[in-house]
């Protein structure tokens, strides 16, 4: 059995607590590896190493930083199948999605490596003669990255890649459900040539490891992906020290189907959006809003296709839906299914833990579809599981109103053949991401990712915005006139 310590200053060390925890396969309960349970003392040690390493890494030429990230991407590409299997074993998503998680990590590292030759500033004319004005992007310092379990390779690469190319040093806390994927990523970055002390990883509970990262004054920025409740707590604590905080939180994402849509394509999209990753994506389709003229046909097609979904061993390529990631996730999903029934929603399909046989040792929940009224809790609150609310609306205006009437605003989708409605939806849907004739999942790494309202605090990951979270802007004025010039003063 592989046992990992904490990764500090380029080496694996035991936690000061001497305690360990296990990473387990949610499909069968088997232990995959053993990890050290870090303490506040361990986090402080990691922060101090990152602080001492920062000046040297800051001075390391950005193109050379990019070369390290490119080598890491190349290693991941060579080991994609092996890493994809690990993602599936540790997190539970089906093998095609496990490999897709790794591919997204590769794509982003290749993309962000190019920022080493950009890190673009602005050059503008001065209002005075013989003077030039421009901006520089500079690293913040020691940053804390706290990542989720549902994308255990891709999301860490989003954060670590952007922070590293910008010249920051890092204290990294992965989710306690998926530390094996995190350890493999750290090993790859080390193999690619990342100097000791630049990246430090401390595994352990959020209440201890995460809390110290958030509260320690030497951490100058915190990047977090997770629940709204945890995000609000992090934001309130870190902001008291004027730290930079980047939050990517929950979603309650709508897919709209208009009466002129390609219904076969639309139903295919919602199946992937609602039940891919067993609904455990912040971008998962949890609400299907259908215009009344085609509601009956969509409902019939949706039920037929859902009944044909195969739930089971996520390593089996024929399986469509794997397990939930943990007992806690299973209990949360079952709780919301009970709430839906209590509210009077019409359970059309699923609504239960799958019993017996191949499901005995794992956390398997049936894909679930409710016929619901807008305003029910299951239509407003994030469930983070394979539960879909189907709702009927009269027209486009009602569809947009229902779509927007939730506390979240991450992803959104509309299926229509009407270009005018498509462009109106782009403008009117309250979301950071909008898809036309595609599901609510499937973001690409070269576009910014994030949301509005309770989905976050305005920061964006990936794309051209990625480095903004991890850099400060410095304005520079160079006066080569040889005399004192006073801007704005005319007398």
DSSP per residue, 325-352: SSHHHHHHHHHHHHHHHHHT-EEEE--S
Task: List b or e across 348-362, with b for residues whose CB sees 16 or more CB atoms inside 10 angstroms.
Answer: bebbeebeeeebeeb
Residue of 104, 248, 382, 461 marked active site: 248
- C-alpha 237/C-alpha 34 separation (Å) is 31
145 is annotated as an active-site residue: no
Structure tokens at 402: 């229902």
Q: Residue 92 burial (CB < 10 Å; 0-12/13-18/19+)?
A: buried
For 236, the enclosing helix (H) or strand (E) is helix 228-239
Closest CA to 92 of 39, 23, 157: 23
DSSP per residue, 361-408: TS--B--EEEE--TTSHHHHS---SSEEEEEEESSHHHHHHHHH-SSE
- C-alpha 243/C-alpha 250 separation (Å) is 22
Residue of 145, 157, 181, 282 marked active site: 282
CA dist 56 to 7, 9, 195, 345, Å?
A: 19, 14, 10, 59
- C-alpha 244/C-alpha 237 separation (Å) is 11
The 8 Å CB, 24+ separation contacts for 331-336 are 332/383, 332/384, 332/385, 333/279, 333/365, 333/383, 333/384, 333/385, 333/386, 333/387, 334/365, 336/377, 336/378, 336/381, 336/383, 336/385, 336/387
Strand pairing report for 285-291 and 131-139: unpaired
Cα 50 from chain centre: 24
**What phi, psi does 490 have (nearest 5°)?**
-105, -5
**What phi, psi does 452 have (nearest 5°)?**
-120, 175
Catalytic positions: 248, 282
């Amino acid at each position: 059995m592989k046992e990992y310590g904490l990764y500090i200053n380029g080496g694996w060390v035991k936690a000061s607590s001497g305690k360990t925890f296990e990473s387990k396969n949610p499909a069968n309960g088997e232990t995959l590896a053993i990890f050290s349970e870090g303490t506040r003392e361990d986090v402080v040690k990691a922060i101090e190493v990152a602080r001492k390493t920062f000046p040297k890494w800051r001075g390391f030429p950005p193109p050379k930083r990019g070369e390290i990230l490119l080598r890491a991407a190349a290693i991941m590409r060579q080991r994609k199948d092996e890493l994809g299997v690990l993602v599936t074993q540790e997190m539970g998503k089906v093998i095609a999605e496990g490999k897709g998680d790794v591919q997204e990590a590769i794509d982003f590292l290749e993309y962000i490596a190019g920022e080493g030759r950009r890190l673009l500033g602005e050059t503008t004319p001065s209002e005075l003669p013989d003077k030039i004005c421009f901006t520089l992007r500079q690293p913040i310092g020691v940053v804390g990255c706290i990542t989720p379990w549902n994308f255990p390779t891709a999301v860490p690469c989003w954060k670590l890649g952007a922070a590293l190319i910008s010249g920051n040093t890092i204290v990294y806390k992965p989710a306690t459900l998926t530390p094996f994927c995190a350890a493999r990523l750290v090993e790859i970055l080390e193999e690619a040539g990342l100097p000791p002390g630049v990246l430090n990883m401390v595994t352990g509970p959020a209440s201890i490891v995460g809390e110290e990262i958030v509260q320690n004054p030497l951490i100058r920025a915190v990047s977090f992906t997770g629940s709204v409740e945890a995000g609000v707590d992090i934001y309130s604590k870190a902001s008291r020290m004027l730290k930079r905080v980047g939050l990517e939180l929950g979603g309650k994402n709508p897919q709209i189907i208009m009466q002129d849509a390609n219904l076969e394509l639309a139903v295919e999209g919602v199946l992937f959006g609602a039940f891919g990753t067993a609904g455990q994506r912040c971008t998962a389709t949890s609400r299907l809003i259908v215009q009344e003229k085609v509601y009956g046909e969509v409902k019939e097609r949706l039920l037929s296709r859902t009944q044909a979904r195969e739930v089971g061993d996520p390593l089996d390529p024929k399986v469509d839906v794997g397990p939930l990631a943990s007992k806690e996730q299973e209990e949360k999903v079952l709780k919301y299914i009970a709430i839906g029934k209590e509210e009077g929603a019409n359970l059309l399909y699923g609504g239960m833990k799958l019993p017996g046989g191949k499901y005995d040792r794992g956390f398997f929940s049936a894909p679930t579809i409710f016929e619901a009224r807008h305003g029910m809790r299951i239509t407003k609150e994030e469930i983070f599981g394979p539960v879909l609310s189907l709702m009927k609306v009269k027209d486009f205006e009602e569809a947009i109103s229902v779509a927007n009437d939730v506390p979240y605003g991450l992803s959104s989708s509309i299926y229509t053949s009407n270009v005018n409605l498509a462009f109106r939806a782009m403008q009117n849907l309250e979301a950071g991401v909008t898809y036309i004739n595609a599901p609510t999942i499937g973001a690409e790494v070269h576009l910014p990712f994030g949301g509005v309202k309770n989905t976050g605090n305005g920061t964006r990951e990936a794309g051209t915005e990625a480095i903004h979270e991890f850099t400060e802007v410095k304005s520079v004025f160079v006066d080569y006139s040889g005399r004192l010039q006073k801007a704005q003063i005319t007398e």
